[in-house]
Every structure is written in structure tokens, then in C-alpha cells.
Amino acid sequence: TWVLEAGETARAQLLVEGRGAAGVVHAISELFSISNAGAVTAAPVVPSRAYLTAAPNPFNPSTTISYGLPHAGHVELTIYDLAGRKVRTLLSERVSAGEHEVQWHGRDEAGKQVASGVYLYQLRAGEFVETERMVMVK
């Protein structure tokens, strides 16, 4: 239980996660301002420019891919091997502006564990395209 005294305001973060069929986790994290009047107003963190990162890297057995979008839009997040072959599409949907996270558990589209090695992860959001490297170690 969290009790605020008269005139107090606090900030809190709410994390909502959902597991997909192959173990992918979609997470939405929002900041809220809370006052003692019981009002809750969303204050999402919206970055000034798009970004893409993964941690831990190197990883085993999973990594969290974080990205931020200054504008809402259709997003594709795809994993490739070094030969450029698609390993897995983690996300292909409309996403709100703000900061987001998706976990990859090192599995391909068929749900098979991938081999150790270097993989590329690519985010496409409107005209923004960024590709980064990550390393799966066993």
C-alpha cells in the first residue's frame, strides 16, 4: 500500500509483459504521476530520436532488445545471421512512441535453439533503419 499525504505527488513506473507462443516477451513500460487525489496520468518517456540496443551482449540464453521511437508507427524487429538469412521476426506491428523492450531467447522461427555465433538485429520504423550485432555464447 502506498499512501500519499495531502499535496504530495509521486512518480512510478508500471511494467506490463506478455509472452508469445515461442517465448518472446513484449514489454511496455510507462511512467505515471500519482497524486493523493487518486488521479493517475500517463507520462510516457518519448525519446527525441530513435535508438536500438541489446543487453546483455554477449548473451546466453537470452537478451533484451531495447528500442525507442519518437513517433508511433509500424515497426519490424528482425534477427539475421551473418550471411543475411532471416532467423526470426520478433516484431511486426504498429507501436506507440516511447521506449520498448523485446526479449529474444535465441530461437529461430521454428522454435529451434540457434548456434553460438554473431547475429544481426535490425529495427525498421518508418525511414529509420538500424542494424546492430549481438553474440550468442554457449
Q: Which amino acid is at 12?
A: A
* DSSP code for 107: B
pLDDT tens-digit series, residues 82-121: 999 999 999 999 999 999 999 999 999 999 999 999 999 9
Q: What is the pLDDT of residue 138?
A: 86
CATH code, 16-28+46-136: 2.60.40.1930
Which residues, in sequence order, are CB contacts of 26 under 8 Å at separation 6+?
A: 17, 18, 20, 91, 102
The set of long-range contacts for 108-116, using a CB threshold of 8 Å and a minimum separation of 24, is 111/22, 114/87
Segments of the chain with pLDDT less than 70: 1-44
pTM above 0.95, yes or no: no
